[in-house]
Amino acid sequence: MVIKSFKFHTPQITYLIKKKLWAQVIFALFVGLVLGIFLGPETGIVEKETAEIITNWLSIPANLFLKIIQMIIIPLIFASIIRDLTSSGSMEQLQKLGFGAAMYFVATTAIALTIGILVVTAIAPGDFIDSSLIRESFDLQDTEPIESSELSIHEIPQSIIGIIPSNPLASFMSGEMLSIIVFALIVGISLITLPKESSKPILDILE
């Protein structure tokens, strides 16, 4: 067996970092972790005020990246839903796809909820958290607990009606994703019922 040096893997690692997005994300997470530990108050290398200033400046690229994602995610979801609905071709095909997608969504949601409840019940992560440290970190004052109001049966009809946006532009501006999805579904179904000659210009724009 021939033992090769670590230099043998360097070109491959460099290629992954330059060409593969997942490798860039992992590398950036590692660099951020090391830099965060270095600037953290535990090491004492940098003063707290200086560390906060450096952190604010270093967070600019991350915040810009998140803003760009938030900027394009809503139009992308809206156009994708309409395009996927209209690609079915007919209402019969859409009903079959919609039923399968709904069953898949319900099944995966139920599985995810079951796993989450079992893990939280077994681990009980709240027992390992010191509430005083959280209040100190976020500079929170001791306040009286707020009683959560449960959703009564009389409020359910209004909640269902509120899913359909009365002003789609306001939903786009506020980022109400559920209302945007419902509006996209309504637009997509409406385009399917229209003649192809009438809906073709709109579909060309969405492409």
Instruction: Give 10-residue mean pLDDT values along the chain (207 residues).
Output: 49 73 85 82 75 83 86 86 75 73 85 91 78 68 60 73 83 83 83 66 57
Separation CA 135–CA 151 (nearest Å) = 29
Q: What is the pLDDT of residue 115?
A: 94
Model pLDDT, residue 111: 94
**182: its two tokens:** 């419902």
pLDDT of residue 141: 66
Query: What is the tens place of the pLDDT at every residue in 30-45?
Result: 888 888 888 777 777 7
Longest dimension (CA), the chain: 75
Measured between alpha carbons, how far is 23 from 107 in angstroms, rounded to an integer? 32
Q: Residue 88 in 3-state DSSP?
A: coil
pLDDT the model gives residue 118 = 92
pTM (two decimals): 0.56
What 8-state DSSP symbol labels residue 165?
-
* C-alpha angle 199-204-207 in degrees, rounded to nearest 5: 125
- Per-residue pLDDT of 140-185, as tens digits, reads 666 565 655 565 677 777 877 888 888 888 888 887 888 888 888 8
